[in-house]
Amino acid sequence: MASYATWLESSIDGTRLELDRLQSMHAGRPLLVRYDLERARREVRREVLAGRERDLWRYGELLPVQRRENIVSLGEQATPLLACPRLGAQLGLEHLTIKDESHLPTGSFKSRGMALAVSRAKELGVTRLALPTAGNAGGAAAAYAARAGLECYVFMPKDTPLVNRLEAGLHGAKAFLVDGLIDDCGKVVREGAEAMGWFDLSTLKEPYRLEGKKTMGLELCEQLDWTLPDVILYPTGGGTGLVGMWKAFDELARLGWLEGEWADGRRPRLFACQSAGCAPIVRAFDAGERHALRFENAATVASGLRVPAAVGDFLILDAVRASGGQARAVAEERLLPWMFRASSAEGLGICPETAACFAVLEDLVNEGVVSPESRVVVWNTGAAQKYVEALEAPLPELPALGDIDWAAL
Ligand SMILES: *Cc1c(COP(=O)(O)O)cnc(C)c1O
C-alpha cells in the first residue's frame, strides 16, 4: 500500500514544493498534497480495500505517510453512518443519516487530522509540536504527540470548555490558557516558534491535517457503495473538514472509483453551518466575497465554531459555491435546544457544533431548499459528553428524595 503522494501545491498560485521536507505554507496560504492519480487509476482497484482493516489507514495510497512504520495511530476505526428516521420525520425528511465521529479517539473527528499530521511530523524528524485550539484539537494533538513520543504545547482561550482544558494536560502536553480567541493563541505559537523549536500544527498551516480530514469523504463514499449523498451539512470552523471532503470527492472521481451520476461529475451540495455568534464564512458567502474578514467579538457555546478568521476561507467558500450549496448561520439560542432535541430523538450524543447543522437543516427544509426525499448526511463532529457546561445548564433540579411528586415528573 504505497503512497502516491508526489508533491505539495500552493492553494493560491499552484507553486509546487517538495514533499519530503518540512513545509508549512506558501505566500501565507495553505499547501495541498497532490498525488499521481493517473498512475493510481491504472494500478489501484477499489476492490483492494476489501481485505484491509476498517480504519483510516486503509486509504494509504491516498495518504501522505511514506513508510508504514511512521504511522502514529490510536485505532481510528471507520465511524458509523446511522439512519435517523425518527429525527428525520421531525424535520420532514425521508432519508436523514448522521455520520457519527464521536466514536473516534479523544471523542471528535480532530483525531483524523492529528493522526496524519503527527505521523508526518514524526516521519520528517519533528520533535516539538505546538498549536492553538478552540477546543478538541488540543486534546487530540496531545494524545497523538504522546503516542509518538513527541513534545506538545497547547494554547487555548481561557473560556475553552472544561474537558478540553483538562484533556491536553491528561495526555502530558504543556497546556496554557490565553486571554483571547484562537487567533490570539495562534499568534503566541507563531511568535514562539523559532525560539522554542516548535512545528506549528495550526489548521491548514501544515498540509497533513487536511489529508486526515479527507478520509471522512473517502469513508462516506465507500459506505455508500461509491455513491454520494445529495446534501451534506457540516459545522464549519477552520474548514478543514469541508475542504478535505471536497478534495476526497475530486480524487475519487479522478481515480474512477465513483458510480453512476457521481462519476459524471455530480457532487453533493455542501452546507457550511455556523452560529450567528461567529459566522465569518457566512458573512463572506452572503457578500459574494472569496475571503472573509475577521469576525469581531466571536462568542458561541459551539467552541469548535469559534474561529473568527480562517486561513483557508477561500477554499471553504470555493467548495461550497462549486457544490451549489450555501454557508448558513443560525441564532446562538437555537444551538442548545437542538443539541438536546437531536440527542434525545436518536440516542446519539450530538455536539453543539452539529446542533447548528440541525437548526440550519430545519430552515432549509422550511424554505424548500432541501426537499423531503433528499438523501441528507449531517456530520456529528464530536461527542456531546465533552461539553459538560452545556449539558449541565438546562437540567431541572430534582427535589429531595421523599418529597417527590411523581405525577409532576
Ligand atoms: C474543530 C471542530 C469543528 C470545526 O471543524 P473544521 O473542520 O475546522 O471546520 C466542528 N465541530 C467540532 C466538534 C470541532 O471540534
Does the beta carbon of 280 sit less than 6 angstroms from any atom of ligand 1? no
Q: Which residue range is the domain that position 229 belongs to?
A: 81-107+208-389
Task: Judge whether 160 lies within some domain.
Answer: no
Res 394: pLDDT: 66
- Say if residue 292 is exposed, middle or buried (CB neighbours under 10 Å; 0-12, 13-18, 19+): buried
Of 158, 64, 46, 60, residue with least CA distance to 117 = 64
Is position 163 within any domain?
no
Q: Ligand 1 pocket, 244 CB below 6 A?
A: no
Q: What are phi and psi of 135, to 5 degrees?
A: 170, -90
Q: Given this model, what pLDDT does residue 397 score?
A: 74
Contact 202, 186 (CB under 8 A): yes
- Give how many domains the chain has, as a whole number: 1
CATH (domain of 291): 3.40.50.1100
Q: For residue 381, how far is its CA from the centre of ligand 1 (angstroms)?
A: 6
Domain membership of residue 3 (yes or no) is: no
CA of 407 to the centre of ligand 1 (A): 42
Dist. CA 64 → ligand 1 center (Å): 22
247 sits in which H/E element: helix 240-255
Q: Torsions phi, psi of 265, nearest 5?
A: 110, -5
Q: Are the C-beta atoms of 27 and 35 separated by less than 8 Å?
A: no
Ligand 1 neighbour 323 (Cβ under 6 A): no
3-state secondary structure 328-370: EEECHHHHHHHHHHHHHHHCCCECHHHHHHHHHHHHHHHCCCC
Instruction: Give me the pLDDT at residue 149, please.
Output: 97
294 lies in some domain: yes
Q: What is the Å distance from ligand 1's center to 137 Cα?
A: 8
- By alpha-carbon position, which residue is closest to atom 14 of ligand 1? 304
- pTM for the whole thing? 0.95
Q: Cα–Cα distance between 239 and 313 in angstroms, integer? A: 7
Coil, helix or strand for 394?
coil
Helix (H) or strand (E) holding 285: helix 280-287
244, part of any domain: yes
Name the residue of 104, 106, 110, 247 to mutate for ligand 1: max ligand atoms within 8 A of Cβ.
Answer: 110
Burial of 229 (0-12, 13-18, 19+ CB in 10 A): buried
Contact 381 CB / ligand 1 (< 6 Å) = yes
What is the C-alpha separation between 200 and 186, in angstroms, rounded? Answer: 9
Q: What's the grid cell of residue 356? A: 447548528
Q: Is there a domain that residue 23 lies in?
A: no
- According to the model, what pLDDT value does residue 203 have? 87
Phi, psi of 24 (to 5 degrees): -115, -85
Cα-to-centroid distance, 236 and ligand 1 (Å): 6
Q: Residue 406 falls within a domain, yes or no?
A: no
Q: Is residue 219 part of a domain?
A: yes
Torsion angle of the four alpha carbons 241, 247, 253, 257, in this order, in degrees rounded to the nearest 10: -50
Amino acid sitting at position 153? Y
Question: Phi, psi (5° rounding) for residue 194?
Answer: -70, -50
Task: Show pLDDT as tens, one digit a residue, over the chain (409 residues).
Answer: 899 999 999 999 999 999 998 888 898 899 999 999 999 999 999 999 999 999 999 999 999 999 999 999 999 999 999 999 999 999 999 999 999 999 999 999 999 999 999 999 999 999 999 999 989 999 999 999 999 999 999 999 999 999 999 999 999 999 999 999 999 999 999 999 999 999 999 988 999 999 999 999 999 999 999 999 999 999 999 999 999 999 999 999 999 999 999 999 999 999 999 999 999 999 999 999 999 999 999 999 999 999 999 999 999 999 999 999 999 999 999 999 999 999 999 999 999 999 999 999 999 999 999 999 999 999 999 999 999 999 987 667 777 777 777 787 7
Residue 7 near residue 29 (C-beta atoms within 8 A) = no
Structural contact between residues 347 and 296, judged by C-beta atoms closer than 8 angstroms: no
